[in-house]
Amino acid sequence: MSRPLEGLKVLELARILAGPWAGQTLADLGADVVKVESPEGDDTRTWGPPFVEAADGGNLSAAYFHACNRGKRSITADFTTPAGQALVRDLAASADVVIENFKVGGLKKYGLDHASLKQINPRLIYCSITGFGQDGPYASRAGYDFLIQGMAGAMSITGDPEGQPTKTGYAMADLFSGLYATIGILASLRKHDETGEGAYIDCALMDSQVAVLANQAMNYLVSGKSPQRLGNAHPNITPYEVFPVADGHVIIAVGNDGQFRRLCHAINRSDLAEAAEYQTNALRVKNRGELVPALTSATLKFDRATLLKLLEDATVPGGPINTIGDVFGDPQVQHRGMRLDLPSEAAAAGSIPGVRTPLLINGQPMADPRPSPRLGEHAAEVAGDPLWTRPAAG
């Protein structure tokens, strides 16, 4: 079965994470993504250790680079030179999509901004990913995931209430921006199919992080009160957090009254199930200060495996807190084929590991078989590709 975006030509002028994440997602869906790097390469090639070991004894770039550049072809171009600018313009004339994440106005001086490329390819879908968007008082600032998580409120609701505000353990603002950019590109392609028109997509890390505040944003907008850090607790549901057991911790995620009653019976606290002050979720949230310690005294009497089995038998949502190593050893993750091992003669191990895009379409996993490219690996191949040397189809 062919993948849905086969035949789509994407020119990626992006580096670090948000733009490359969008490019990798499109590549996994079947697009031909040509990544244009500076002669020095994408910054993340050096963001290690760890590095993927090369068969010749060197390395094939940092693991970070491979996390977001699978399925692409790499060429190099120096945007500051007429030759580099001409190369990008020639490719843009044939492309369906351009993705870039330079600072606002950063490509205009090279004639590679949307207004310039639109003149040579009016049907081009051009996606700009920046920290703060193309306009507004912060438009000229560089955007970094860590700063955005703080500025957009995410850190104010993450972490222990007695400790520091905390960022997530992964680049949430960058990754969500990459996904929103992908959504915008796909929507624009749908419109392009109808009208033949191009589009300009303005995607900002700040906007994306604010957007995914979701229920926490609505909690503020409805109540007028800024949500606070609750550690692992949920602002709108109780009990929905981490509980200690005799040999570690488990997650208990009760989502309705029936689950709460079954939880209480499973841990031998039927009295809590019958208590008037815990009969509804609203009451449990109101009285969480008394309820959570009572539940904790009960969970501490069990070891992790025993409690998780009791929860499963009672159909109460619960689970372990896995390390990343545990995740890739989990039978469900293995069954779903989330780990990729892509053959590579250049790699010392003979393959480069990765994680597939979490999409199955008609039963087929969306994963490009091409490993992340070496710097400039495909210069000759792209130069001789007839699909990239003629105007984009309407």
Catalytic residues: 174
- Residue among 346, 359, 284, 344 nearest 55 (CA): 346
C-alpha 236/C-alpha 223 separation (Å) is 13
Give the three-state DSSP class for 338.
Answer: coil
Across-strand partners of 13? 100
C-alpha 345/C-alpha 339 separation (Å) is 19
* 149 and 209 Cβ atoms separated by less than 8 Å: yes
Give the three-state DSSP class for 22.
Answer: helix
* 80 and 106 Cβ atoms separated by less than 8 Å: no
Burial group, residue 137, by CB count within 10 angstroms (0-12, 13-18, 19+): exposed
Q: Which contacts (CB < 8 Å, 24+ apart) does range 43-49 have?
A: 43/15, 43/16, 44/15, 44/16, 44/17, 44/20, 44/68, 45/375
- Residue among 134, 59, 124, 61 nearest 94 (CA): 124
Packing angle, helices 172-195 and 18-28, rounded to 10: 50
Structure tokens belonging to residue 258: 């029936």
Q: DSSP for 174-195, please give it.
A: HHHHHHHHHHHHHHHHHHHHHH
Alpha helices in 29-121 (DSSP H): 63-66, 82-94, 114-120
C-alpha 74/C-alpha 120 separation (Å) is 23
* 4 and 30 Cβ atoms separated by less than 8 Å: yes
